Amino acid sequence: EASCQVRNIPVRPFEDLIISYIGQIGEHPELIERTVKAANDTKNKAIKPLKAKLDQLNKHHAELAEAVQRCIETAKRKGSKNLADEFIQEGERLATEKRQIELEREKLKIDIRYKEKVVTDARIIAGTLKQFEQVIRKLSDEEQKEFIRLLVKEITVNHFDPEKDKDPSGTGVFKAKIRTRWYLVNISLYGNDLFTGVPGGGVK
């Protein structure tokens, strides 16, 4: 009762087709360059607020250090033991807060250093994509499904007649022959704005 005209598709050949297509993305230098730029932009955007927070913590840390020192100096000057004890207690409270700031500051520094060390290199990305097909085969079926779901937003499949229909055009659109039948496949990937100008090509 479904309106779908493509009643069934050979599973394994079709899966191989999709994995092969994703692997071929690494052969497009323009796409790799855009991927590198997008990744670096994302990395810089992630680091910027962390550095801003670190600056705030540094400022607060300096203020606490001064306050602790003032409490100590005031306690020394006061003649009354009760007053001196009050300033010492306040100094200890501020010192505890200062140590907490120091811990938070160190965690931020580690996070920033880690993000800064992430290497986004065109050569690495291209090489990884070219190895995509052989690497994904080493994953379990469930892991393969989860991984593909991270990349692929939608796949549309229609029958295709090479003698009657025009050759497809557009990013992610290609014709494919599986066994004895031709299909028109349209793959929509997450982050499709990176793929503008990358030809779909024909896959057989």
Give tens-digit pLDDT for 33-52: 777 787 788 888 889 999 99
pLDDT at 80: 55
pLDDT at 200: 46
> Quick one: 70 exposed, middle or buried, by C-beta within 10 A (0-12, 13-18, 19+)?
middle
**Rounded Cα distance, 92 and 101, in Å:** 14
Short-list 182, 174, 157, 131, CA closest to 26 = 131
According to DSSP, residue 100 is labeled H
Residue 160 CB neighbours (<10 A): 19
Short-list 17, 35, 14, CA closest to 133 = 17
pLDDT at 20: 85
Instruction: Write out residues in the chain with pLDDT < 70, as ranges.
Output: 1-2, 26, 78-84, 118-121, 171, 191-204
pLDDT at 109: 92
pTM of the prediction? 0.50
pLDDT at 53: 92
